[in-house]
Amino acid sequence: MGHIHRVVAIDGPAASGKSSVARELARRLGFAYVNSGAIYRAITWDALQKGIDGRDTERIAQTAEAARISCRLQNNESHIVIDDVDPSEHLRDDRVNKNVSRVSSIPRVRKIVVQNMRQYARYNDLVVEGRDIGSVVFPKTPYKFYVDASPEVRLRRRAAEGQRDEIIMRDRADSSRPISPLIVAKDAQIIDTSHLTIEGVVNEIIARLRQIGLSI
Ligand code: CDP
Ligand code: CDP
């Protein structure tokens, strides 16, 4: 096993600010930013795009296993190419929003994504955001955060982006699935971001990272 670099895990429900906070935190720390949700979204988009029904668990798992998924860093951020196609502009499509929770509940799909996440940590210090980063993907990292905000605030944030995204339904599915559900890891620090700006959240995380001994 290669050397494991430092990992800051950021988990939380939809529109809690994970992506914005993780990206800015990574920039300030000089770490790479890895978005795990984007890989679940890319796998979902790829299967739908190949004509597979979003409920066909077996074919989705087979397709994901057969796909060539290349996860690289581009400008210090994770970037996915799947079967030589860059799915970036499709990751927030309505049909992806609707199907991604079901696809990500498939154990064989999770295995692929978890392996990719851990590969990144062999070569880089990382800020990784998702649902199970502190609980399952990097359970040994001491740097774990759970960012949250009230459902009203989160709905408002998504609406402000002009997105039709049923985040409450997705959160329910993500929190109740048997494998790697969205939970607060027992040693995670919880930050309620309802009344904080992105910069405010990042400052708070950096202060706590210093307290727990990350030299930055
Ligand atoms: O940005 P947003 O919070 O809306 O979603 P995302 O982080 O892009 O994740 C999309 C979906 O992928 C989530 O609703 C989960 O179903 C799944 N996901 C997961 O199961 N585990 C992760 N570590 C990250 C995402
Ligand atoms: O990744 P996740 O779905 O958790 O959230 P995001 O995509 O980073 O943030 C959702 C929206 O909320 C974005 O438009 C952010 O700019 C905004 N946001 C905010 O207004 N205040 C925060 N403290 C965090 C995010």
Q: Where are the alpha helices (DSSP H) in 55-182?
A: 57-66, 94-103, 107-123, 151-160, 167-176
- Listed as ranges, residues in the chain with pLDDT below 70 are 1-3
The whole-number pLDDT of residue 215 equals 85
Q: What is the DSSP letter of 106?
A: -
**In a mutational test of the pocket of ligand 2, which residue from 157, 170, 203 has the highest number of ligand atoms less than 8 Å from its CB?**
157
For residue range 6-16, list pLDDT tens digits in order.
999 999 999 99
pTM of the entire predicted model: 0.96
Please give the pLDDT value at position 163: 81
Main-chain phi, psi angles of 170, to 5 degrees? -65, -45
Per-residue confidence (pLDDT) for residue 3, from 0 to 100: 62
Q: What fold, for 7-211?
A: Rossmann fold (3.40.50)
**Distance from the alpha carbon of residue 214 to the mean position of ligand 1, in angstroms:** 27
Task: Provide the pLDDT for residue 66.
Answer: 98
Tell me the ligand closest to 100's alpha carbon: 1
Q: Where are the domains of the chain?
A: 7-211
Write out pLDDT tens, residues 121-165.
Answer: 999 999 999 999 999 999 999 999 999 999 999 999 999 998 877
Ligand 1 centroid, distance to 125 Cα (angstroms)? 21
Confidence (pLDDT) at 32:
98
Q: Shortest CA distance to 147 belongs to which of 194, 88, 102? A: 194
Altogether, the residues listed in the chain come to a count of 216
| Whole-number pLDDT of residue 1 | 47
